[in-house]
Amino acid sequence: MYTAVLVRYGEISLKGKNRGDFEKCLLNNIREALSDLPSRKIEHTFGRIFVKVNGDAKEVIERLKRVFGIVSLSPVIETSLNIEAFREKALYLLKNTPGQTFKVETKRSNKRFPYQSPEVNRLVGGYLLACTGHPVDVHNPDRVIHIEIREEAAYLYSQVIPGPGGLPVGITGRGILLISGGLDSPVAGWLGLKRGLKISGLHFYSFPFTSERSKEKVIDLCRVLARYGGDLRLLIAPFTAIQKAIRTNCPEELYITIMRRMMFRIAKKVAEQEGALALLTGESLGQVASQTLESIAVINKVVDLPVLRPLISWDKTEIMNLARKIGTYDISIKPYEDCCTLFIPRHPATKPRLAKVEKAEEKLNVEGLIKECLDNLEVMEITP
């Protein structure tokens, strides 16, 4: 019975002269999300997008629920502009929507339609009451039958399904997500996607200190992110030689600080290759030794790119809750350790001094180690 899925967007409508670019990006992302389904017509009118369906509304909605920029969705029945047609379709919706009480709510953007919204509510609501006997409750109904009267047709629906909101992926540029197998970085990546970033993943892999399963875990996390942001490029950086050099030549309390500085140096080079304008991390202020203000300041010194930290004020419970919601939690808690957890010193520096860190790094062949890592990057294209 459903003929289309109504797509609503919110923040995009406030973009003024740039609104067209945001809408075009959203339309492209909708087409990409549905690309492996049978081809369908997508109509764009002011403030609304209609995706035509042919019996597969449920599958279309499942895809579109993960497209950033969409505020909400409704499977709709398109009908001609007359009260009898409204009544017929509204009765079908009422019979197929659970609940007892109901009300009819009309929006009439087509001012040439001869009945005003309250009149439509009364004419359709009275018919439904007579046919079903279900009571009307205008204040707190179990079901709302919505009627949108537009220029070309009317659309009726009873469901409003939340979308993820945010901005269309790709509209704000590209960022490099430093992704481990833990809870935080995939959630940070999801939040970056929500603000319109197209992300490439960068994972530091220390074989044989970390197993092949730890890499597979990161790939699985990227597959989840690809469900929201489309195909995702993952770069696997061999990090074993760098960690060995740090362990051999540097003070133990500075292992993590220097390791993170090396990661940021490599990430900057990768950003240049990928055309990215920012780095994205899962750091949360004060969560571990490398995430104190002093540590963050020292680590940041090696890059001149913006470093986005969307979780900086979040606590672990908030991060875990969002991880469960987006589908990364069960993957992240698998017991396969990443390169950071295996090289944590007994007493890591929480307030490292830049001069001491730079002095320690003089014993490393920094440029040589970075070049060796970049020359051996493994590149993967991850699909949803």
The range of the structural domain enclosing residue 59 comes to 4-162
The region of weakest confidence among 88-97, 130-139, 193-202, 282-291 is 282-291
* DSSP alpha helix (H) spans, the chain: 19-33, 57-64, 83-95, 117-132, 184-194, 212-229, 240-249, 255-274, 293-300, 316-326, 329-332, 339-342, 354-361, 366-375
The region of weakest confidence among 209-223, 230-244, 305-319 is 209-223
Residues 19-68: tens digit of each pLDDT: 899 999 999 999 999 998 888 899 998 778 999 998 778 999 999 999 99
- The band of 290, judged by pLDDT with boundaries at 50, 70 and 90, is confident
Q: Are residues 153 and 277 in the same domain?
A: no
Q: Which residues pair with 161 in a beta bridge?
A: 73
The region of weakest confidence among 11-20, 167-176, 317-326, 349-358 is 11-20
Give the burial class of 258: count Cβ atoms within 10 A of its Cβ; 0-12 exposed, 13-18 middle, 19 or more buried. buried
For 300-304, the CB contacts below 8 A with 24+ separation are 300/264, 301/261, 301/354, 302/261, 302/264, 302/265, 302/268, 303/264, 303/265, 303/267, 303/268, 303/279, 304/268
pLDDT > 70: what percent of the chain?
98
Contact by Cβ (8 Å): 148, 155: yes
Secondary structure (DSSP) of 166-222: SB-TTTTEEEEEE--SSSHHHHHHHHHHHBTEEEEEEEEE-TTTS-HHHHHHHHHHH
Pick the most confident of 37-46, 136-145, 208-217.
136-145
Question: How confident is the model over 325-347, as a mean pLDDT?
Answer: 80
Q: Are residues 154 and 194 in the same domain?
A: no
pLDDT at 222 over 90: yes
Q: Are residues 187 and 127 in the same domain?
A: no
Within a domain: residue 168?
Answer: no
Q: Are residues 329 and 220 in the same domain?
A: yes
Q: How many structural domains are present in the chain?
A: 2
CATH number of the structural domain spanning residue 212: 3.40.50.620
- The band of 341, judged by pLDDT with boundaries at 50, 70 and 90, is low
**pLDDT for position 159:** 95
What angle in degrees, to the nearest 10, is found between the helix axes of 255-274 and 293-300? Answer: 50
Q: Are residues 240 and 180 in the same domain?
A: yes
Q: Are residues 138 and 244 in the same domain?
A: no
Q: Are residues 158 and 193 in the same domain?
A: no
**Residue in 286, 296, 275 with CA at minimum distance from that of residue 357:** 296
Q: Are residues 75 and 115 in the same domain?
A: yes
**pLDDT for position 55:** 73
Q: Are residues 184 and 245 in the same domain?
A: yes
Final residue in a domain of this structure, among 162, 197, 215? 162
Question: How confident is the model over 64-84, as a mean pLDDT?
Answer: 96
Final residue in a domain of this structure, among 112, 131, 162? 162
- The band of 240, judged by pLDDT with boundaries at 50, 70 and 90, is very high
Determine if residue 260 is labeled as part of a ligand binding site. Answer: yes
Mean pLDDT for the chain? 94
Determine if residue 282 is labeled as part of a ligand binding site. Answer: yes
CA 175 remoteness from chain centre = 13
**pLDDT for position 337:** 66
pLDDT > 90: what percent of the chain?
84
Q: How many CA atoms lie within 13 A of 92 on its CB side?
A: 13
Q: Are residues 235 and 273 in the same domain?
A: yes
Question: How confident is the model over 311-335, as a mean pLDDT?
Answer: 95
Within a domain: residue 261?
Answer: yes
Task: Give backbone dihedrals phi and psi of 199, rounded to 5 degrees, phi first.
Answer: -110, 150
Within a domain: residue 56?
Answer: yes
Distance CA 209, CA 99 (A): 57
Within a domain: residue 183?
Answer: yes
**Residue in 214, 229, 299 with CA at minimum distance from that of residue 257:** 299
**pLDDT for position 373:** 97
Q: Which residues pair with 48 in a beta bridge?
A: 8, 45
Final residue in a domain of this structure, among 162, 187, 215? 162
Q: Are residues 243 and 377 in the same domain?
A: yes
Determine if residue 291 is labeled as part of a ligand binding site. Answer: yes
Determine if residue 179 is labeled as part of a ligand binding site. Answer: yes
Determine if residue 22 is labeled as part of a ligand binding site. Answer: no
Which tokens go with 283? 């750091």
Cis status, amide bond into 345, omega within 30 of 0? no
Within a domain: residue 136?
Answer: yes
pLDDT at 69 over 90: yes
Within a domain: residue 167?
Answer: no
**pLDDT for position 292:** 93
Give the burial class of 350: count Cβ atoms within 10 A of its Cβ; 0-12 exposed, 13-18 middle, 19 or more buried. middle
CA 201 remoteness from chain centre = 14
**pLDDT for position 338:** 63
CATH number of the structural domain spanning residue 37: 3.30.2130.30
Q: Are residues 67 and 132 in the same domain?
A: yes
Which tokens go with 124? 């359709």
AA identity, residue 381 = E
**pLDDT for position 243:** 93
